[in-house]
Amino acid sequence: MKSNNPIKFKVSNLRKNISAVLVVDLNSIRKNYFFLKNRTSNSELGISIKANAYGLGYKKICQTLLECGCKTFFVATATEGLEILKVNKSLKVYVLNGFTEENSLLKLIKSGINIVINNIYQLEKLINISSKLNIKASCAIHIDTGMNRLGFDLAEAEKIISKDLKLINISLVMSHLSYSEAKESNMNNLQLKKFIQVKNKFKNIKSLKFSLSNSNGILLSKNFHFNLCRPGGLIYGLNLGKKKIKGIRNALVLLTKVIQIKLIKKGEYVGYGQKFKAKKNSRIATLGIGYSDGLPRNYKGNLSYKNYKFPIIGNISMDLCTIDISSCCGLQVNDWIEVFGNYISIDNFASNCNTISYEISSKIGARVERVYIDNTTEEN
């Protein structure tokens, strides 16, 4: 299935000495941001930019979202938090995983990054270190309402309130929806009910914000929005639901270059393990992309060139894959083949890999060059 909005760009502008490119449409990123912002007019948007902005490249994405008016960002680790702060020192950054050792904790406190506290140990450690440093550490409290991954149990909320919280600066109380892409799931309303209970327990702490919604949580109803929503995948055009979301635009095209073309005879094998045996004389192309670049080894679908679709033959290897191009005699070395984006959406591509688009984009390797386009402007 094709993308809902094809991304236009000139392949002639791509650098010649690279073999794989991820084209990122910044204009689509902006449109996705404002689509969600319009759905949450009374709430702030804080964007999840972890895992290198889901593989898109956090520096350029962060700068683009800053231009849109976004000032709050969420990352997973201390390292990510310290790196993103280099983009702009005025950013409000939250580290979702909290901390695991004191050295990184000290760096986070001194940098003013908000540390998301997930358990009593982290809370007590943060209070103790803040007291020693005489610095009020910036932080958020994560309450688990059903994900059972990170966060305080609901029953532990009383323990938090009983602590001496004057030594730290809590700006946010948050939880995380576990199945928001399924609007019909009873879990959504159950988690909402629990989070309202959480909010009531913290009502005496002034200037405290509350956050429950992730990307698809925004689309459930306004009841889920509270003070701040934390979209991630939908900003980048990635969708977990079964249906396309009208208003969310595709932002990615992954391309790879033909680096060799050869003829093989009937009965010859292609690739590791002799998994493919030619049933007839064939014309095949070797492409400069493999599973270390983000093309999963278990993908068995087609790749695209204009209106042609070419099946992958043989095992995808670390740096290369091979396609049967017998149907297109005009294809040449250095032509660009599309992996996903315009001719097949990343969501459908991910489905053919038995995974989700978040994993596909996040695993696109570092040697795949990110090329950013903005309407008709292209920039490396």
* Type of residue at 90: S
Give the pLDDT confidence score for residue 207 in this predicted structure: 87
Instruction: Give pLDDT, residue 41.
Output: 84
Distance separating alpha carbons of residues 359 and 101, to the nearest angstrom: 28
pLDDT for the residue numbered 278? 95
Annotated catalytic residue, options 37, 50, 92, 257:
50
Per residue in 119-154, is it b (16+ CB within 10 Å) or e — as a string?
A: beebbebbbebbeeeebebbbbbbbbbbeeeebbeb
Q: Active site residue: 193, 266, 272, 300, which one? A: 272
**Model confidence, pTM:** 0.94
Q: How far is CA 99 from the centre of its chain?
A: 21
pLDDT, mean of each 10-residue run, the chain (380 residues): 74 84 97 96 95 97 96 97 94 95 92 96 94 95 96 90 90 96 94 96 90 96 97 95 87 97 96 94 97 95 94 96 93 96 94 96 96 70
CA pseudo-torsion sign 215, 84, 292, 10: positive
Active-site residue, 50 included: yes
Within 10 angstroms of residue 367's Cβ, the number of other Cβ atoms is 14
60 backbone dihedrals φ, ψ, rounded to 5°: -70, -40
Which CA distances in Å does 9 have to 23, 24, 36, 42, 317?
Answer: 9, 10, 26, 36, 28
